[in-house]
Amino acid sequence: MVKILLSILISFALLFSAAVFEAYFVGRQFQRFGQALQELEYKTREQTAHRTDAESVRILWEHEKRNLHIMVPHNDISYIDYWLGEAVNYIETNNYSDALSKIEVLRTLCEQIPQAYSLALENIF
């Protein structure tokens, strides 16, 4: 009986540790990407953003998503790819107002996706 209880406690501790690591890891990846998006948004608002600025954010995202494929569903990642591609295109054509709307969607996704992996009651039940 003691072995069974000990096994259950160890399993619970391992699952809890994995959940904490997942929440931390996903949050950190999106935090870096969100900061880059914030800088791009500032440059876009000032109408000083160039394709190289947008491409640097895309390169950062490509690096981050390689690590996120393990934990984040492919659909969420493809949404970000889609919106980021449109934002880069709008910045390249100097259509800053449309680029700002795409960047705003990206920033919202960067806030919502990590919340789905946080340790909250709504995510557990």
The pLDDT of residue 122 is above 80: no
CB atoms within 10 A of CB 116: 14
The per-residue DSSP string of 29-84 comes to HHHHHHHHHHHHHHHHHTT---HHHHHHHHHHHHHHHHHHTTTS-HHHHHHHHHHH
pTM above 0.85, yes or no: no
What pLDDT, in 10s, does the model give residues 19-66? Answer: 888 888 888 889 999 999 999 999 999 999 999 999 999 999 999 888
What pLDDT, in 10s, does the model give residues 98-121? Answer: 999 999 999 999 988 888 877 666
For 76-101, what is the mean pLDDT?
Answer: 92
In angstroms, what CA-CA distances link 117 with 30, 40, 43, 51? 12, 26, 30, 32
For 14-20, what is the mean pLDDT?
Answer: 88
Report the Cα 96 to chain-centroid distance in Å: 23
Secondary-structure percent of the chain, ordered helix, strand, coil, rounded to 5:
85, 0, 15
